[in-house]
Structures are given as C-alpha cells and as structure tokens.
Amino acid sequence: MSTGFRLPQGGLIDRNSQYRFSFDGRALTGHAGDSLASALLANGIQFVARSFKYHRPRGIMGAGLEEANALVTLGDGARSLPNAVASTEELHDGLSAHAQHCWPSLNTDFGAVNQLFSSLLGAGFYYKTFMGPGRGPKSWLFYEHFIRRAAGLGKASREPDPDQYETVNTFCDLLIIGSGPAGLEAARIAAEAGLDVILAERDFELGGALLADTGTIERQPAAQWLASQVDRLSKSVNIRVLKRTTAFGLYDGTVAGLVERRDPAQATTIPWRERFWIVRAKRIIIAAGAMERPLLFAGNDRPGVMLASAVGSYLNRWAVAPGRRVVLATTNDSAYATARDLAIAGLSVTLIDSRDRISEPLHRLANNTGIDLRLGQSVRATLGSRHVRTVDIGPANGQGAVGSRLACDIVAVSGGWSPTQHLLSQRGVKPSWNESLQAFLPGRANEPIDCVGSAAGLWRSDDCARSGRAIAAAAAAALGRKAPVEDIPAPGGWETPIRPVRLASDLNLKKIFVDLQHDVTAADILLANQEGYEAPELLKRYTTLGMAADQGRTSAVPALALLSEMANRSVGEIGTTTFRPPFAPVSIGALAGMERDKHLLPIRRSPLHDVVADSGAHMLETGLWMRPWYYPQNAETVDEAYLREMRQTRDAVGICDVSTLGKIAVQGPDAAEFLDRVYVNGFKAMKAGMARYGVMLREDGIVMDDGTSWRLSETEYFMTTTTGNAAKVMAWLEDLLETRWPELRVSLTSVTDQWAGISVAGPHARNLLAANIGELDFANEAFPFMAVRNGVFNGVPCRLARISFSGELAYEVYIGASHGPALWRALRNTAKELGGCAYGLEALGALRIEKGHVGGPELDGRTTLEDLGLGRMASTKKSFIGDVLRQRPDLRRDDRARLVGLVPVTKGEMFKGGAILAEQGQEDGHGLGWVTSVTESPSLGHWIGLGFIQGGLDKWQGKTVLAADPIRGRSTLVKIVAPHFLDPEGTRLHA
C-alpha cells in the first residue's frame, strides 16, 4: 500500500549488515541500527496493527516510546512477547513479528465491524447495558465471556518464561536519565567534577533527539558534536553508561528502578534477557526530553499519519522516507527543520501551519527549499482506506469550509511538545501549565531531583546543553564538588509562539482520536464531560483515556485542551492526572530477578537434612523449612508409615529431627527475671539443671508460643520455641529488652542454627542414649523427668533434657550442628537394633495428639490459656506480658470454645481436621466449635482428635456432637472426652 523506501545514503544504519526478519510471515530484510519500525517502513509496511476497540487500521506513528499504534507480538512459543512497541524494538537477525488483536488477519479483521456501531459504543456504554435479563449477575457473566475475548491485545505465552533475569544493586552520586544534549552535558560536567555518574539511555544509541538532528549545536554539526561527546564518555572512568536501559520509576530515598535490555545481537553470549538495576543515587537529573503531540482532526489515526518528529527520525536516523508526498501540519516552529530535511531529500512537502504569522527565518527556510507553505490553515480530515490518500485542509480558526483537498501519502503532525516528566510526577510533584508554551513544566521537587533540557521545556538544543551543564554543576556543588557555574536558560525557544491545539472542526468528532491506543475520541470526551465526569481523573477513568499501555503519553494534553475548550477554562485550572510507575511497561520477570522457583525465599534445611534423607525420609515443605514427613519402608503410604512409626516408638523407641525448633540463649544476671516477665509461669524458682515447659502470651493476652526453657546455670537459660514462631519470638524478646526493659541485664543470642536437635522417645529411649552418650548417668534418680544434663558423644559435648512431647520416656539431645549427622547415624543404628525407628512430622503430630499436647492448629493466634486448658499455668505471684489484657471480659467467658478431646461414637469411623462441631440437627451457622487436629491412634485402635467447643469439658464431657464436614461430604458423631488419650497419669514418661 505504502510507497516507503530506504534512501540510498545517510542514516545511522550499518548497510553492510543484513538482518532477515519477518512480519506476519513475510520475509523481509533490514540493517543493524534499525528499529523494527524503521525496517518495516523501509520495506514499505506502514499498516501493522488494529486498534483496541474499533479495530481500525493503524500504522506506525512514532519513532520512540510515544508510539501509540504499532503494537505487535514478537516471536513464538515460550518466548513470544505480546504488545511489543515496533518503534522501540531493536531489529535483530531472525526477529519474527506478528500482527495481533485481529482475526482472521490484519487485512481482513472481523472486529472492524465495531466501527459500524461506534455511536453505541461511546464512552462508558458498557455501564449502561449488559445488565439483563434477570436481576442476578448471570447475564453479565454471559456478556463478559465475549467482551473478555474481544478485549486484551496480544496473547501471552502460556509456557513458563525460559529466560533469566538479574538484579543489580548499585549506588552513585548522580543518576542522569536520558542522553540527549542536556543529559550528555550534565554527565560530562558531573564527571569532570569527580562525581560517580550513571547515565541511562532507553534507546540503543546515545544522543536522543540529536540522532535525527541535521542542524547544529554549540556551533558544530549535531552529528559531529554527538560523536565527540560519546567518544569522551567512553573514556571517562567515573561514568557508567547504560544503553537500552529504561528508568521506569523513582522511589523514596532517590532510589531509581531501571531495566536494561540485552543487546539482541548478544543473545547467545549474555545469559540474562533483562537486568533490573536498583540505583541508590544521591541526586537524580531527568533529561528524558519531550514528546511531540498529535493534532485533532477526523481520521487522525489513519496509517500514514505520523508525528512530524518521527518522520524526521525515520528520514535522518534510519534513512527511510515513509512516503513521497508529505503534508506536514504544525502549530509550532519545531516541524520546520523536518520539513526542510524532507524537501532536501527530494520529497514533495506541503507545510500547513495553523498560525497566521511566522518568523522571517522560517519563511526563508520554506522558500529556499521549495516547500509549499500554507499559513493559517489546518488539517480538517484525512481520507483513505488502509492508508491516508488525501487530506482536507481549511482555515485554522475552524470557520469556513474545507479549502482544498491534497493528495498525499504521509501526514506529519506536530501539536507541540510535552516535557517527559513522568518520573517527577511519580514523586507527587505537580507540574504547572505554561500557557504561552502550551506545556506542563516540571514543578520543584523537595527531593534532589532536577529536570533539564526539553524535559524542563527547553526547545533549543543549545539551551538544552547549557541547562544540562548548569544543573549538573549545581548538583556537583551540592555534593561538595566544584564545577563551573552557569545560568539556567529559560524555557521555550521558538521564534513564533505556538498556537494552542483546537479541534479542527466540530464535525465527525467520533473520528477524531485523542487516545489512539484506547480508541478514545473527541466525542467520548465530550460525552463524559456532558455526563458529569469532568474532573480529569474521572474523565480518564470513564473514557479509559490514558490508561492504555502508552499511558497517554501523547493524549493527555490534547484531552485537557479539549476539556478546556468545552469548559472554557485554562488547562492549568483543570489540572492533570498523576503518572504512575512504571514509566514504560516492565517485564514482571525482570522485577522478580533471580528470586523465583526454589530461589524465592530460600528453603531452610536442618543440619540433619542429608542424613534423614539417607534414612529414607519423605520431605515436606512446612513454612520455610524442609522437614522429614515420614520414613516409608517397603513402599508404605504416608498413613501406613506414620502408624508404624508410632507403634515402634511406643513399643520400642523412635528418634526425630527437632533441629528446626527455635533456640535462644538467654544469658545474664537478670535472665530469670526476664523469663518470669515473658512466660505466664515462673522460671525464677527453677533450679539450674532443670527445664520447664513455658507459655508466652502476646500483649493482648492471646497465646503466642510455647516451648521449654532449660536452666543451665543461675544466669543462663536455653530457650526453645516452636519452629514456626522462632523468628517472631526472637525479635519480640529483643524488642522487650531494648525498648521496654533496658534496665534488665540480659543478652539474647539466636542459636537455632548452631545446634542440631534429636528427640528420642519410647520405652528404650534410656538404653538407646546410654549406649551412645558417655559421661552421663541415665538412671531415673540421677536424670529425673525435666532434668537437664550434659553428656559426651564421640568426644563432643552435648546437652540433654528429659522432656517429652509424645508422652513416652523421652529426651531431647542437642549437639553442635556439624556433629549432628554423626549423632543421628549412631542413634538410628542403635534404634534399629532396639526395634525402633526414625519418625517424621506426621508421627510427631500424631503422638502429641494422643497425649493431648497443643500444636500449631491449636495455637492459632486467637486462643487464650484457658481455651487451651492451660489456665492453671498462669502464675498469680508475678505479672507477665499479657496478664492484664487476658482478663478482659470476653476472654474470660465460660462459653468460649475450649480444648477438648474427640473420639468417634462408632469406633471404626474417621473425621478430619477442619470439621465443625455442632449439635445434631444444627445444620447451619458457626456451630459449637471445630476440630483442629486428628489422627488414627494405633494405641487405642480408633481415630481421635482435638478440637474446641463452646463451654469445653465442663459442659460437654461425655456428650455426643456432630463433626460436620459438608465440604468433604462427611459427618461423624463424636464424643467429647478429656484431651489426654494416652497415659493421663504420666507413668510412661516418668518410667
């Protein structure tokens, strides 16, 4: 359709290279240095996409991030990338691109039928319909099915992303974002002043607007000036230059988020696809330039309508003339240079300037290059099917009829420029509207962040360079360095003022596209305003203006101009919307970096991990830990294995890895006092050489954690916590000591990782340990229940306490972590000889249920001491954390749910954790309580469980209730019993 072509010379492309690429299967070629868009245009392909809502044909309109139309899908399979912006995508050999959001093809897209209904599909139409029939949500679900499929743009891969991403944490004195004249000069001055500088450039070439500038800067040809700057940069040791790197967000503490893309030519040598830079800068300079705005006329979305600066870029940077007959429509001076370059390149140029008067030099420029200049005119409409063929022009004041119709294949437009200050807006800095420049200029940040160059509203490259130098010098001074002081130039720089953008005509508002990517038209904005959604944020939300992937980069100001025209208020009074990070879309994979799969929240392993695995353990992930779940023999299932492990433990002996328990050394003269304050029960009176079970409460009187604390000496305790709460308890105790009781002379050390721990339980526990641990008398009198003793294993000291979670004669033995595996192997071998075994988490849980000990499911952060049946543990002789608030009336009520034991009425029946306890016939509501922990009991020969029921044993002992489990289709009659199923007298553990 188009007549685009590559010019025979010029441009920053490597004509010696030839890249093969494809678009929708068509084999094409381009060069190194091309963007996908420039290569497509060079091949005469302009129409590359369909619009979001109306599926209108869309072409390449920009040459950078301002591109709103040319979204394509790159690649196939697991590496396919939807919604890639053709204008910013670097061409590489083998690239394959596809049109997206069209069916069956780009040329024949059935979705285009939506254009026929555009009157029906105006702003917010969906809020007014799709509600019936019926009152429920079913109808919407039906419509939504089709709407979802019609929406979306490209299709994401369903396969796991095969690529790798990295994170770079770094620091610098000055981060400069953008490498146009302002950024380059800022970098030079800052580096010369000795600052550590990072210069980040989104593009794959440095230079910004200079890359397409055929004029001069600082009295040198732009290209020459740029080349010498780049050369100097490469020699400077204190500048890190990051190309292909988008600064997407500024966060607190002048921390910036940047994403660097791999040079596609190095895909085989660089392992990462993208790198996420977290830059902690002392100061930041935003030199991100400005973006050109389109004009508002009917058919302004047609392929062939492009930003004037983009046409200039394709011409000068990529040596591509996207057409032959160019109509260039402008409101300001900036397009004249492009017009000149186009004319010199031999294209036919008609320049439509909406202003009535322009400066003499511009007149001369037009005359000298044979440009057909028409002042006081503007484009009213374009015509054409899949490409612009003609434009209608008429008086710019909107009065009078269309004056003439011009044939053309490119309509280049310039509605003025918007400084790129999105990053500053993210910091909450409000811009201010400058009526004479027709631009939002950056406000002053309270943080050390400055805007320079076009990002600060400077239009001339000399001014940009000077502002870069001046601000960088000020930044250097602020950081204690010397740099030459210069004045900061004033914003602006055009000889003839810009003419504000106005609607070309009131006719055909439905064809005037304000937000190209979301198909928001002037008619939509009018309608939203008419319906009361006049605040810019409401208008944005109601029409979806500026909410597409380009975040309204080119549409925000034209929309505000329209609003101001309707409301007869200045753009400044109306205000603008806040820009959110990221400035440009960022891969979620890049943000995650290496922290994925097993690298996310690294798995913790006990020092015994490898030896328990050797013992045949099946592991289970619990929280952050990997723990032995059960030790199957002969292909046992988990249920078969844990029941056997229980039987062997109760009949002979079992050993269990308990290294994951939190372990804290509590040392100092006030250690006893400290424990007395944090535990509900007393620890002061306990003698050295003894251990005690303790419970600690939160300040609100709810149980926080339980465990044992061993008194090693007058001034030293060894505290254990539950696995899950270890970190929380440690931080809590540190908090208390440092911030609340600084007078207590206590030191805390987490020794969780320093000790390996093994629990040894069962009638042969004593024999097993005696056979392996020396220098210790295991006799009942010498080592009684709850005593703490030191022993020696293979010459290595170890620490033991006679404590029991299972109800058996049991010990916990701790040894230095590196000696744990040897101890485990020894104990396991002896256990085998004694008819015992290793047991895992499942049996550990089941053994404690038989004994009625509370565990994780009971300590759910809502239960009190009394709820757990531990009320009598609370000391009345001292005060402790949580003691006051646990006395609150609703926590003392008799009808609170209290811990009970549960057995099925019919012995063979089972029930499950999570069942609801309710009276028979009570089918709905919260019932009386719930089941927390359940196991089959090999000792008793039936299922048993723990649970909570309102009123507890006092009210329910011996009575029958229903364990209702409708979600698993089960309901079991259970009898309420005391929560001690086995050996309530404790003869086993005292044996």
Partner 1 sequence: MLRIKCPFCGERDHSEFSYGGDANITYPDLAAPMEAWIEAVYRRANPKGPHRERWQHIDGCRLWLIVERDTLTHEIASVTLAKAALAPLVDGQSS
Partner 2 sequence: MPRYSALSLINHAITGNRDWPRAWPNPDPKPSYDVIVVGGGGHGLATAYYLAREFGIRNVAVLEKGYIGSGNAGRNTTIVRSNYMLPGATEFYDFSLQLWNSLSHELNYNVMFSPRGQILLAHSPDALDGAARRGNIMRRHGIAARLLNRQDMQDLVPHLDYRPTARFPIWGGLMQPTAGTARHDAVVWGYARAAAALGVDIIQNCEVTGFLREGGRIVGVETGRGQIRAGKTGIAVAGHTSRLGEMAGLSLPIESHLLQAFVSEPIKPLLDYVIGFGGHGHFYISQSDKGGMVFGGDLDMYNSYAQRGNLPVVRDVAALGVSLMPCLGRVRLLRHWAGVMDMTMDGSHIIDRTPVDGLYLNAGWCYGGFKATPASGWCFAHLLARDEPDKLAAPFSLDRFRRGAMIDEAGVGPIPKLH
Interatomic CA distance for residues 358 and 175, integer angstroms:
39
Cβ proximity to partner 1: between 385 and 578 the closer is 578
Picked from partner 2, partner 1, none, the partner binding residue 234 (CB below 5 to 8 A depending on kind) is none
Interaction partner, residue 731 (partner 2, partner 1, none; CB < 5-8 Å by kind): partner 1
- Give, for 305, the enclosing helix (H) or strand (E): strand 305-307
Q: Is 738 in the site for partner 1 (CB under 8 A)?
A: yes
Q: Which residue has the tokens 């972590």?
A: 817
Q: Which of 677, 711, 853, 898 binds partner 1 (CB under 8 A)?
A: 677
Residues that contact partner 1, how many (by CB under 8 A): 26
**Choice from 220, 359, 436, 879 touching partner 1 (CB under 8 A):** 879
Nearest CA to 126 among 111, 110, 114, 144? 144
* Residue 277 touches partner 1, criterion: CB under 8 A: no
Whether 544 and 515 have beta carbons less than 8 Å apart is answered as yes
Task: State the minimum distance, in angstroms, from the CB of residue 419 to partner 1.
Answer: 24
The only residue of 105, 747, 887, 960 in contact with partner 1, by rule CB under 8 A: 887
Rounded Cα distance between 317 and 60, Å, is 16
Q: Does 751 bind partner 1 (CB under 8 A)?
A: no
Two tokens, residue 406: 């011009």
The option from partner 2, partner 1, none interacting with 133 (CB < 5 to 8 A, set by class) reads: none
d(CA 709, CA 714): 13
Report the largest interatomic distance among the alpha carbons of the chain, rounded to a whole angstrom: 114
Structure tokens at 83: 């919604």
Q: Judged by CB, which is closer to partner 1: 228, or 887?
A: 887
Q: Which does 14 bind (CB under 5 to 8 A by kind): partner 2, partner 1, none?
A: none
Other Cβ atoms within 10 Å of 538 Cβ, number? 15
Q: Does residue 883 touch partner 1 according to CB under 8 A? A: yes
Torsion of CA 887, 892, 897, 901, to 10 degrees: 90
- Binding segment toward partner 1, per CB under 8 A, in 496-504, 633-641, 879-887, 945-953: 879-887
Candidate list 327, 381, 881, 917; residue touching partner 1; CB under 8 A? 881
Backbone angles phi, psi at 256, to 5 degrees: -115, 145
Task: Tell me whether residue 546 or residue 904 sits nearer to partner 2 (CB atom).
Answer: 546
- Bridge partners, 665 (sequence order): 718, 749
6 or 244: CB nearest partner 2: 244
Nearer to partner 2, 15 or 596 (CB): 596
Per partner kind, with CB cut-offs from 5 to 8 A, the member of partner 1, partner 2, none near residue 375 is none
Return the structure tokens found at 275.
């790198």
User: Whole-number minimum distance, CB 521 to partner 2, in Å?
Assistant: 11
- In the complex with partner 2, which residue's Cβ is closer, 132 or 400? 132
Rounded Cα–Cα distance for residues 859 and 863 (Å): 6
| Interacting residues with partner 1 between 397 and 456 (CB under 8 A) | 446
Residue 280 interface partner, choices partner 1, partner 2, none, CB cut-off 5-8 Å depending on type: partner 1
Q: Does 739 bind partner 1 (CB under 8 A)?
A: yes
- Beta-bridge partners for 520: 515
If you search the block for the tokens 């800095």, which residue do you land on? Answer: 429
Residue 29 interacting partner from partner 1, partner 2, none (CB closer than 5 to 8 Å by kind)? none
* Partner residues linked to 240 by β-bridges: 198
Nearest distance from C-beta of residue 884 to partner 1, angstroms: 4
Residue listed under structure tokens 């490469």 = 234
The pair of structure tokens assigned to 346 is: 């031999």
Beta carbon nearer to partner 1, 255 or 566: 255
Nearest distance in Å: CB 251, partner 1 = 5
Q: How far is CA 44 from CA 94, 95, 921, in A?
A: 19, 17, 78
Closest CA to 416 of 404, 433, 403: 433
Per CB under 8 A, which region of 132-140, 194-202, 660-668, 875-883 contacts partner 1? 875-883
401 binds, among partner 1, partner 2, none (CB under 5 to 8 A by kind): none
CA distances from 634 to 616, 647, 938 (A): 11, 17, 20
What is the bridge-based pairing of β-strands 410-414 and 305-307? parallel
Distance CA 121, CA 114 (A): 8
Q: At what angle do helices 335-344 and 360-369 cross, to 10 degrees?
A: 20
User: x/- contact string, 231-270, with partner 1 (CB under 8 A)?
Assistant: --------------------xxx-x---------------
**Of the candidate residues 147, 156, 685, 731, the single one contacting partner 1 (CB under 8 A):** 731
Q: Which is nearer to partner 2, 621 or 777 (CB)?
A: 621
Residue 41: C-alpha distances to residues 96, 175, 212 (Å): 15, 35, 16
Least distance (Å) from partner 1 to the CB of residue 64?
28
CB 455 within 8 A of CB 290: yes
C-alpha 641/C-alpha 840 separation (Å) is 9
Least distance between partner 2 and beta carbon 295 (Å): 23
Query: Whose Cβ is closer to partner 1: residue 218's or residue 734's?
Result: 734
User: What radius of gyration, in Å, describes the C-alpha atoms of the chain?
Assistant: 38
For residue 735, state whether it binds partner 1 (rule: CB under 8 A).
yes
User: How many Å apart are CA 354 and CA 330, to the nearest integer?
Assistant: 6
- State in angstroms the smallest separation of the CB of 117 from partner 2: 8
For partner 2, give the closer residue by CB, 444 or 888.
888
Choose between 82 and 249: whose C-beta lies nearer to partner 1. 249
The contact set with partner 1 (CB under 8 A) reads 251-253, 255, 278, 280, 446, 677, 699-700, 731, 734-735, 737-740, 742, 879-881, 883-885, 887-888
